Structures are given as structure tokens and as C-alpha cells.
Amino acid sequence: MPERKAYIGLSGLFAVTLSLTAAAIAEDTHPGYSAFQRCVVCHQADGRGIPGAFPPLKGHIARIATLDEGRAYLIAVLHTGLMGPLQVAGRVYVGVMPAQVPGNDYRQLSQILNYAVEVIDAESGDDDWRPFTAEEVAQRLGVGLPNKMHGVAALRQRLDSQYPELFQAEAAQVKE
Ligand code: HEC
């Protein structure tokens, strides 16, 4: 990872001669790449998290984003934060995630979520994926999402009871 980052400033041509993969280039030039760096201290650069402490994003975020309620939930997590307990792939997390994009930088919030789906969880994404936009974030926050962490946790509980497979099967395949 650090070696890869050292090359970002180089021209595309030079990067190719250094034989970086296309995927690596896409990752570093994605509009959400730099804003996502604030997430990596907890969720790690590859989104696998730290089992038992910080849940993975890889393995289930793409599928959450295919559901209307799921999209609202993801926006609320970044805007308001989240306080569990919650389960991913059979592991319990009793943590607190502070709000990451509490203000009105809706573009940045949408780009972070797009990075999480398109890069971090690319393997479980599908072609029906509809990227987040600043407009969607503004619209969903405008009609009202929970503004307290426990309210966001309640949204998740509802998702979990309606679609239990979201937080279980696929995520369980993430190797530790
Ligand atoms: C300080 C550590 C920390 C940072 C930084 C952080 N998170 Fe989290 N995140 C957590 C914890 C802890 C949880 C689980 C909260 C709980 O146990 O209630 C979580 C949960 C989540 C969830 C819910 C997952 C699920 O299965 O429902 C998402 C989505 C998420 N984080 C995305 C992000 C993104 C994107 C960023 C960067 C913008 C980020 N987080 C930054 C600690 C962090």
C-alpha cells in the first residue's frame, strides 16, 4: 500500500511502466479515495475491519446499498454515527462510530459510500448498482433520518430483521 501511494503523483504512462494494475490505479484516482482514508484507521484500507473491534465493510456494503432502506441507513451512519451492539458474520461489535461527515458536504459523503461499494466491496457488487449522489444524500437527510446514534442503530435492527442475510452469509466469507 505505501509503495503504491508513492506513485500516485506520477504520470499515467509512468505508472503503467511501473506495472501497477488497472485496479490499483482506479482505487487511487476514485473520487472517494482520499476522503475514505479517514475510515481506514478503524475499518482498514481493504475494508476488512478488525474482527471483534471494527466491523468489515467488505462483504456486505454493496448489498446494503441495493436496498432503499439500506441506502438511507448508510447515509445515516456517516452523517450521524452509530452505536451498537450489532453483528456482522456472526461476530458481535459493541462499539461506537462517531459521525464522519456530519456537516453538509453531501458530495463527499456520497463519494465515500461510492468508494466503499465500488472499490472496497467490488467483489460483491452487481450491475444494477446505482451510485450515490449529493442530491440523493440531501434528499434523504431532508426528509428526515435519525439524528441520534441509537436511532441509526434502530434503522439497522430493522434492516437486520427484514433481511438477515445482509449481515451474515456473504460477509462471513471475508477471510480473517
Ligand atoms: C473510530 C473508528 C471508526 C472510524 C474512523 C469509522 N468507523 Fe465505521 N464503524 C466503527 C465501529 C466501531 C462500527 C460499529 C459500531 C457499533 O458497534 O455500533 C462501525 C460501523 C460502520 C458501518 C455499519 C456496518 C454495518 O454492518 O452495519 C458502516 C457502513 C461504517 N462503519 C462505515 C464507515 C466509513 C465509510 C467510515 C469513514 C468515513 C467509517 N466507518 C469510519 C468505527 C469507525
Residue 164 has what pLDDT? Answer: 86
* Ligand 1 centroid to residue 38 C-alpha, Å: 11
Cell readout for 76 is 445515516
Nearest residue to 124 via CA among 57, 30, 75: 57
The alpha carbon of 164 is separated from its chain's Cα centroid by a whole number of angstroms, namely: 19
Give pLDDT tens digits along the chain (176 positions): 444 444 444 444 444 444 455 566 667 899 999 999 999 999 999 999 999 999 999 999 999 999 999 999 999 999 999 998 999 988 999 999 999 999 999 999 999 999 999 999 998 877 678 999 999 999 999 998 998 999 999 999 999 999 988 888 544 455 44
Looking at the CA of residue 41, tell me the nearest atom of ligand 1: 5
Q: For residue 61, with 0-12 CB atoms within 10 Å meaning exposed, 13-18 middle and 19 or more buried, which class applies?
A: buried
Q: pTM for this structure?
A: 0.86
Residue 28 has what pLDDT? Answer: 83
* Ligand 1 centroid to residue 133 C-alpha, Å: 20
Question: Range(s) for CATH 1.10.760.10 in the chain?
Answer: 32-172
Residue 124 has what pLDDT? Answer: 81
CB-ligand 1 contact for 88 (6 Å cutoff): yes
Cell readout for 132 is 450515490
CB-ligand 1 contact for 43 (6 Å cutoff): yes
CB-ligand 1 contact for 124 (6 Å cutoff): no
Residue 171 has what pLDDT? Answer: 47
* Ligand 1 centroid to residue 17 C-alpha, Å: 37
Residue 24 has what pLDDT? Answer: 61
CB-ligand 1 contact for 97 (6 Å cutoff): yes
* Ligand 1 centroid to residue 32 C-alpha, Å: 16
Give the domain 32-172 fold.
Answer: Cytochrome Bc1 Complex; Chain D, domain 2 (1.10.760)
Q: Which residue puts its alpha carbon closest to atom 34 of ligand 1?
A: 39
> Three-state secondary structure along 4-43?
HHHCCCCCHHHHHHCCCCHHHHHHHHCCCHHHHHHHHHHH
Looking at the CA of residue 159, tell me the nearest atom of ligand 1: 27
C-alpha 159/C-alpha 165 separation (Å) is 10
